Amino acid sequence: MQRGAIMATEIKGNSNKLTRWTAEALLAGVDHIKLGFVSRTNPKEKSKHATLATSVLKPNEFAAQINFSYANGWGIIKSLVDYILTLPEGKYLLAKDPNKSMMRLYQVPVDTFVEVSKVEEEEGEFEAQQVIQEQEEYDE
């Protein structure tokens, strides 16, 4: 009954997701975006939901509705890449602040987010030994 009010609230609270989905739809060249409105069947149960309504939108029209500019999106990416290229070589983490329309770029240690299993370590040691042996044979 209050789809307009619900949509306005969702646009305000989840603009990043809606913008991302709209940009993906525009890049993919799809004709329609289908949004579903769901609610928990019981407020205490996190896993059971009911579909209240669905809405079918054209990506271009929805982009205008949420004030998404396709050209502006590419401009943001270009400026972000240009900025990152000025930074020293290393590993960085780009994160969006959940409560603000702000993104933060953090420099992290090079071994961050790298999970090496015992099997991979053993394979790496074997490959290193093999390379050393091949180099020694070549030098002879």
Please name the residue that has the structure tokens 């992290």.
108
Domain positions in the chain are 3-68, 90-140
54, β-bridge pairs? 36
CB atoms within 10 A of CB 68: 19
Q: How many CA atoms lie within 13 A of 35 on its CB side?
A: 19
Amino acid 139: pLDDT: 47
Q: How far apart are CA 19 and CA 22, in angstroms?
A: 5
Amino acid 1: pLDDT: 56
Tens digits of pLDDT across the chain (140 residues)? 577 777 778 778 888 888 889 999 999 999 999 988 888 999 888 889 998 888 899 999 999 988 888 788 788 889 889 999 999 998 888 888 877 778 888 888 888 877 755 545 555 555 555 545 555 554 44
Helix ranges (H only) for 56-117 are 59-65, 70-86
Q: How far is CA 19 from CA 5, 15, 62, 74, in A?
A: 18, 6, 9, 13
Amino acid 127: pLDDT: 54
Which two structure tokens, joined as six digits, stand for 49? 């939901």
